[in-house]
Amino acid sequence: MATGGDVRLLQSPLYAKAATLVGQPVGVSLSNGQGVTGILCSVTAGVAVLLEYLYQSQFATKQYPLNTIQDINPFPGCSVQGPFF
Protein backbone atom coordinates (compact mmCIF):
# COMPACT_ATOMS: atom_id res chain seq x y z
CA MET A 1 0.00 0.00 0.00
CA ALA A 2 1.40 3.39 -0.98
CA THR A 3 1.99 5.97 1.73
CA GLY A 4 1.39 9.68 1.29
CA GLY A 5 5.08 10.21 0.48
CA ASP A 6 5.03 7.42 -2.12
CA VAL A 7 1.96 8.89 -3.80
CA ARG A 8 3.59 12.33 -3.97
CA LEU A 9 6.70 10.80 -5.59
CA LEU A 10 4.59 8.96 -8.16
CA GLN A 11 2.83 12.21 -9.03
CA SER A 12 6.00 14.31 -9.16
CA PRO A 13 7.27 15.84 -12.42
CA LEU A 14 10.64 14.11 -11.83
CA TYR A 15 9.01 10.67 -11.67
CA ALA A 16 6.96 11.39 -14.80
CA LYS A 17 10.06 12.57 -16.66
CA ALA A 18 12.17 9.62 -15.50
CA ALA A 19 9.48 7.13 -16.52
CA THR A 20 9.77 8.34 -20.14
CA LEU A 21 13.56 7.84 -20.10
CA VAL A 22 13.72 4.19 -19.00
CA GLY A 23 16.13 2.25 -21.23
CA GLN A 24 17.98 5.38 -22.40
CA PRO A 25 21.38 6.85 -21.50
CA VAL A 26 20.89 9.64 -18.99
CA GLY A 27 22.73 12.12 -16.82
CA VAL A 28 21.51 12.38 -13.23
CA SER A 29 22.01 15.48 -11.09
CA LEU A 30 22.03 14.55 -7.42
CA SER A 31 20.97 16.89 -4.62
CA ASN A 32 24.47 16.76 -3.10
CA GLY A 33 25.98 18.39 -6.20
CA GLN A 34 27.37 15.21 -7.75
CA GLY A 35 26.37 13.82 -11.11
CA VAL A 36 26.25 10.28 -12.46
CA THR A 37 25.61 8.84 -15.91
CA GLY A 38 24.37 5.54 -17.22
CA ILE A 39 21.41 3.67 -18.64
CA LEU A 40 18.21 4.23 -16.69
CA CYS A 41 16.98 0.67 -16.05
CA SER A 42 13.83 1.37 -14.07
CA VAL A 43 11.95 3.82 -11.91
CA THR A 44 9.78 2.48 -9.11
CA ALA A 45 7.83 4.18 -6.33
CA GLY A 46 10.88 5.73 -4.74
CA VAL A 47 14.00 4.54 -6.57
CA ALA A 48 15.74 5.06 -9.90
CA VAL A 49 17.97 2.15 -10.99
CA LEU A 50 20.96 3.09 -13.15
CA LEU A 51 23.45 0.84 -14.95
CA GLU A 52 26.80 2.63 -14.66
CA TYR A 53 30.11 1.92 -16.38
CA LEU A 54 32.99 1.33 -13.96
CA TYR A 55 36.08 0.39 -16.01
CA GLN A 56 37.28 -2.15 -18.58
CA SER A 57 34.27 -4.45 -19.03
CA GLN A 58 32.75 -3.87 -15.59
CA PHE A 59 29.37 -2.28 -14.95
CA ALA A 60 27.39 -1.75 -11.76
CA THR A 61 23.68 -1.42 -11.17
CA LYS A 62 23.05 1.29 -8.58
CA GLN A 63 19.90 2.54 -6.90
CA TYR A 64 19.22 6.20 -6.20
CA PRO A 65 16.26 7.30 -4.06
CA LEU A 66 14.19 9.80 -6.05
CA ASN A 67 14.30 12.27 -3.15
CA THR A 68 18.11 12.52 -3.66
CA ILE A 69 17.77 13.39 -7.37
CA GLN A 70 17.46 16.98 -8.60
CA ASP A 71 17.02 16.17 -12.29
CA ILE A 72 17.39 13.46 -14.92
CA ASN A 73 18.25 14.36 -18.51
CA PRO A 74 18.64 12.28 -21.67
CA PHE A 75 21.92 12.31 -23.50
CA PRO A 76 21.74 14.55 -26.57
CA GLY A 77 22.20 13.11 -30.03
CA CYS A 78 25.59 13.43 -31.69
CA SER A 79 25.55 16.54 -33.86
CA VAL A 80 28.82 15.84 -35.66
CA GLN A 81 29.01 12.95 -38.10
CA GLY A 82 32.16 10.78 -38.17
CA PRO A 83 34.35 9.00 -38.80
CA PHE A 84 37.29 10.99 -37.51
CA PHE A 85 40.84 9.77 -37.85
* Cα distance between residue 85 and residue 83, in whole Å: 7
Distance CA 6, CA 8 (A): 5
pLDDT of residue 6: 58
Q: Where are the domains of the chain?
A: 22-74
Q: What is the mean pLDDT of residues 28-44?
A: 97
Count CB atoms within 10 A of the CB of residue 48: 25
CATH topology of domain 22-74: SH3 type barrels. (2.30.30)
pLDDT in tens, 51-81: 999 999 999 999 999 999 999 999 998 877 7
In sequence order, the 6+-apart residues with CB closer than 8 A to the CB of 39 are 23, 24, 25, 26, 50, 51
Structure-model confidence comparison of residues 84 and 48, the more confident one = 48
Cα-to-chain-centroid distance, residue 59: 15
Position 58 scores a pLDDT of 96
Task: Give pLDDT, residue 9.
Answer: 57
In the predicted model, what is the mean pLDDT of the chain?
89
